[in-house]
Structure 1
Amino acid sequence: MFRRDPRWIPVLRLEVNVVPDPPSGPDRGELFAAGGEAGRLMAAIDWAATPVGPVESWPASLRFAIRTVLVSKFPMVLTWGPEFIQFYNDAYAPFIGAKHPAIGKDIRQTLAEGWDALGPPIAHAMTTLEASWLPGLLLLLERAGYREETYFTVSHAPAFGDDGAVAGMHGVCTEVTGQIVGGRRQRLLHDLATEGSRLGDEQETVAAMCAALSADSLDLPFAAVYLSSPGETGFRRIAAVGCDPTLLPGTAGTAAELTGIVDRLDVIGGPFGDRVAEAVVLPLTATRDGEPLGLLLAGKSPNLALDVEYRSFYELVAGQFAGVIGNIRAFETERLRAESLAELDRAKTTFFSDVSHELRTPLTLLLGPIGDVLEDTTAPLAPGVQEQLELAMRNGQRLQRLVNDLLDFASIEAGRANPVRVETDVATFTAELAGIFRAATERAGLRLTVDCPPLDRPAYVDPRMWEKVVVNLLANAVKYTFVGGIDVALHAADDGFVLTVTDTGVGIVADELPHLFERFHRVPGATARTREGTGIGLALVQELAALHGGHVSVTSEPGAGSRFTVTLPYGAPDVADDEPRAVVRPSDEARGEAASWEEDTSRPGEPTAAVSTGGPAGRNVLVVDDNADMRAYLTRLLGPHWSVRTTANGEEALAAVAERLPDLVLTDVMMPRVDGFELLRALRADPATRHIPVIMLTARAGQEASVEGLQAGADDYLAKPFRADELIARVRVALERAAGRAALPAADPVVPAPDARTIAAPAPAPTLSAAGRPGPPSPRRPQESTPGPFAEWRLPSFASSVPVLRRRLRGWLATAGIGEDQAYDLLLAACEAVTNAIEHAQEPAQPYFDVTAAVDGGHVRIAVRDYGQWRERVPSMDRGRGSTLMSAFAEITATPSPEGTTVVISTPLAAQRPDTATC
């Protein structure tokens, strides 16, 4: 048996070769694969030549940290080792701008200009293991070739190695330069708006706004404002900030004069104290296409790029100044205008007062004798004379009421009207005033209800002023009420009494209610019985109520009616009240006002057209006027000659025309419902009534009004007042023309006015002088012509009528089938003849000229007749081309007479003209 020696111990020798484990984490291929451009740059770097060594030797913590940075969409940077070797992603690259790529370099060198701000928080984070948080950190960067003002929100955290020790720094950042700069610019614009909202003196306001710019010296290192002055050229410096004003020019003619002065100002700006080297000059324009009100000189920060946002900021600042200056000047203009209007208003008030006083004397001398004659029972008047004098009396009293109203209003405006309050039985007086309108309301088919019980205590008013209040409200109700009724009520209130006048009239739209008591204001388009009136009735009511310490209000609904409410205190006597209360009755003026409304209303069921059969039954004239006295007067003038029908407005006239066609319409222009122009258009639009001659009567005198009427298609136009014999003559001429037109075949509807007048054939003897003056008169014999297309126009004798004739004649030539070239020649010749007639005819017996055009026997003939005596014009006044122009296109015949001159332009139709030789 083998026995082991206990002292023997076996010895084993082992050889162990230690092989280090490969680094854990992603291999080189996976590490940079998802990193975009930054990953490709990292993969291309020879890391063995850098302090961090080859990629294969990198610890797992570095590998994972780099991979996290590369795949992040947020700007991130990683530094490793004591050398601060940096790794960053694509989102971080814009952070360093032109210094990219800087991967693998020392971050302290890349951000050298900003390391004073970044170094301490990084060192703190790596030393204390506490992450930093720096919102809106100002950093000086030179990433675009200049010292740039930038702001970042940054967080720094320690980066740990595999052994848990701090091996680097992990940074996350985002640029907030836009938000920081935009916020401070917004605050400045707010401050500018606050300063500008005061709208004080222009220079003081601009200086205050300019001083407010110092709150943002980073964006506006300096600024100066130059403004234009009325009546001066160029711009004058008003205010400056951020620089020495003495170094700026006091005036500037243009913006270019301010662009080269920055260097001499020596202004320091920006957060880093750099010299300002650039500025912009912007015009201060209140409107897009207007002239500049001034110029804004604004310095540019040396640390910001002049990008779109910076330019927009400048424009907004300039816009603030321009808007404020524009508003100040607009307010100043409005103030001056208001002062001018106030002065004009005072002048008008004085004028009305003076004129009213002056008119009272002749009115008294007119109405007094007429009244004496009418009241004289010892010498009875013939019925016709009595009627005419009563007509004159009524309208004289109406004129007197208008004069008195104007005088009252002028006195109120001048502060000279003071009520004399006496104790008055207001209830009885109001009931009597309403009663004088009963006849007018009954004639109009309206119900009049009066409810005026006695008041429980004495009331003190000026009786004549109270009368005007009641009469104006009742007249207004009658004027605008056609169906239903009018209610007048008076009742006691707590401290006074209340008058209400309610109607079922046309009502008033809501937009017009605030303007209803403004003087001279009329509600446009409101249907009324008449267009007459001064427009001061309701304004006078308001003023008279205010003089008594009361007020007036209105409620209304279109189509339902209106309610006017006058509230007055009981008041106190203005004179000693020792005598008993006097009995007050309606004045003659009030009764005259009520009587005039009785004449201007018609009974329900009354025919639309009243008929006068005094004249020949074969011709009938339709008279259209909203004034009853005017209708009666025209009927009396025309009745002995023609049968006359009358209507009160254009609407009734159209109904009368539909019932029976008149031979002539004599119409007023300003009427309710359908006015004269609307009536004329309706007649001309209907082929059945197009031929009816229309003469317009109007109170609007002057050439412009005449042209407006004739252009609208009226056959004649007569301004009020007119002579009776002139009106009868014009009506007779119009009827004779209409009868002549009826004898001819119907013309094309486009022809303005068919007529039977013939144009004389040309006579060879008369000629025109070089100045267009007719030669010696020679008799000519009218020749009958073959009927053909015919037209006639009468136009006022002044230059503005030439374009009107040209348009009408062009249309007629086209309708008559005249060729384009020949029509052009005839237009030139005819317009030259008309121009001669206007310029040469002196002191015309009639203030118009007549033009007739016809195609007759293979010829086109145009005749131009004036009603004055011709005179030769001196060479300096005339070019001598009149006859030359006309003779070049046609044969010209001029026939003068004591009544005027007729020029006839005649030429064969183009198709029948003989061939002419050419040379």
Structure 2
Amino acid sequence: MSPELRGRVLVIGARTASEALLSRLAESGFECAMAEDVDGVPPLVVSLQPEVILLAAATKRAAEMLEGLRNIEQLRHVPVLADVSRSRSSSEAVKKLEVDGFIRGTEEMVPRLEAVLRAGRLRESEERTRLRMGMLLEITQATTSSLELEEMLRIAVDKVGRVTGSDRCSVVLVDGAEAPIGTVVATQEDPSLVRLEIEIARYPELRRALETRQPVHIERAENDPIMAEVRPNILPLGVHSILVQPLVCQDELLGALFLRHSRVGTTFGRDEQEFAQAVAGVLANSIRNARLHHALKRKREDLELAYVERYKELSDANRRLKELNRLKDEIIAVCSHDLRAPLQVLLGHGRLLLEGSVTVEQKQSIEAMIRQGRKILGLVESLLEKGKGEAARLAIEPRKLDVAQLCRESTSELNILAGEKGVVVRAEASESLMLIGDEVKLHEVLQNLITNAIHHAKAAGTVVVRALRLTRPDGDAVKITVQDDGAGIPQDELHLVFDRYRHGPKGTGLGLAICKEFVELHGGEIWAESPPEGGCTFVFTLPMAQDALKKKPQEKQEQQQPRVLVVEDEAEIAAVLAEVLRSRYRVDVARDGQEGVAKARNMRPDLVVMDVFLPKLDGLEATVALKSSTDTAHIPIILLSAHQGVAEKVRALNLGAVDYMSKPFNAMELLNRTERALKSPTPEPRGELPSPPPAPVMLRTGNDPGTNLYDKRTLLAKLEVEVSKSRRYHRPLSVAVLRPERPLADMPRGAGDVMRKRLRTLDAVAHMGSGVLTLMLPECNVESARSVIQRLLPELQAASGISFQHAIADVSQDSDAVDRILDRLGAPVQG
């Protein structure tokens, strides 16, 4: 039995000396070949592939051979040993040989060769390990980059093939172990073969790896039993060794990494198998992430498509809803014109008949016809009221009316309903009780309460409606009670009867909740009581109109009544304010801020009630104008606004207003606050200048002394007012910030002239410092503002010699505070 092969040695030297050396090495287990000189080495390099070279020549000739060997590319890194056991050269000459070691005796030849071989193999192993780690790192970096999946896999198979020395390296993806078809997404053999579908059944080694989820190593395909069924097909191809590593991530089978050697004598060692396993783990994780990303992207696209389709459906539904709303408005208009006009004619002729000579029976019939006609007219008015929606319920159309008469009419209208139930309804109102209110809404309140009382009264019971005067320190009021003799309401449920969401056997529906809204809208109160004698009583109070005739002559009273100036641009709200205040004061009305300031200076009213959002000059600016003038600084001002913010209230009071009320307002609360404002101490007008109001926020006078433009503080105050106004009237408001290419110590040269020349009078410009300009453009959206800035920048650059960067935002649509918006656009707002 031949000894185990220890290594491959190439011996170079004289044949007579080398043959004995070859024989000795062969007996020691080395595979050897011999060449007498360097010319005979190249053929032996290909056939032997030596691991070490042994020079068995004289020292002088060995130096020449060594130089020739180093010129052969394949042998540059092969270690060289010199056999100097028979050399007669001096030790100095031997030492000059640039070899890896010397053999000075026969006994040390084998140990020296083995030591050199072990060192060389260790270096090769370390080099291969370093190469594998470097390639694994590059593959990992490729899989974590933004490359597409196929490009990333192509890089991976190329690097794996270079490390393992395989002639085929491919990645096959499948949809599970049972999938009959696999897809080759990357291959080293032919990079153009991508998305190639293969039948898994035709590759038994691949099928085995996918089924077992374990690596399959075919060391010799020509005699391995796994390859028996396909051996006739693979032998002509020269397939020798195969390695299949399944790609599994989180128990999900994704595919396999396929490696093949075709050279005889080559196989996949343990190092190559471990490397392939590590690469498979990286690839499996990357493939799974790519699939998840693709699925997520597809889901997002599906959701976006569904959103677009849903948006179209909602748009169509909204369009149809608008059409139906328009149709409703047309129907209401028809009712308004085609029903009210004939009813007014019938009622007019009925009144003419009553004025003529008719019998008692005819008079009763005519009165019944008139009552029923009024009832139908009330129903038409109610229909029109409901058609206006929620906004109509929160608005009143006040006029002077007699509540006692209204109680008697409501009772008379419901006599028929009461008669059907055997209930007697009577009204007790001995005197005329005048107040200012909405007749339709108060009529609905009475009808709801009386109908509710009839429903709960005993059979053959009684419902009593009483109206009487209630004397109070803050002014007389009307007290109206509707009492029935039914089962009543438990004490612990009295506070719940006006709950809008209370339903069921004991519920009262929406009627009482609507009654509460309408009564409070008139400045009154409503509640329920359970009297000791049984039944239930609903009570509500309403403030009465001032009866000036009972106290003093009209002319003298009007002279003593305070004068109130109402400044309101919406005609309906102005009418309500005037009617409510006219019960106690003389009232004048102005339609905008400029008219309000002019009337206040001419008329010198005792009080100004002014809306914040007004055309031409808003309420805050008008307040500053009045408080800055010597002849109007003493006039107290009450500001009104639909804005509920506390900050807005604080700003209004800081400007010098004595009070601030939110819309919609309560009539009684308005009268109480008006009375309190008139009684508050205010300085009388004098000849000298009065002391200014405490810490006002100046809206017009704050400017930059160097430029005569707005400063930062003034612009912020101005912007807050304009933002509120734009949101109320649904108008755009844009802000643009112009920042110079480098910070400046002062205002850009000529910028003020350019701004005044190109901007409108309602636009505002502020120098924020360091050359930064901020432009406020009311009633201008972002696109229009961008056009303005594009026209402005060339002239500004020509005048100042500096380039500017700009940023624009529509602040009417932005929920952030103004200072944060400016900061985001690049304007310095601090300091």
TM-score of the pair, normalised by structure 1: 0.30
More helix by share: 2
Pair member with larger Rg = 2
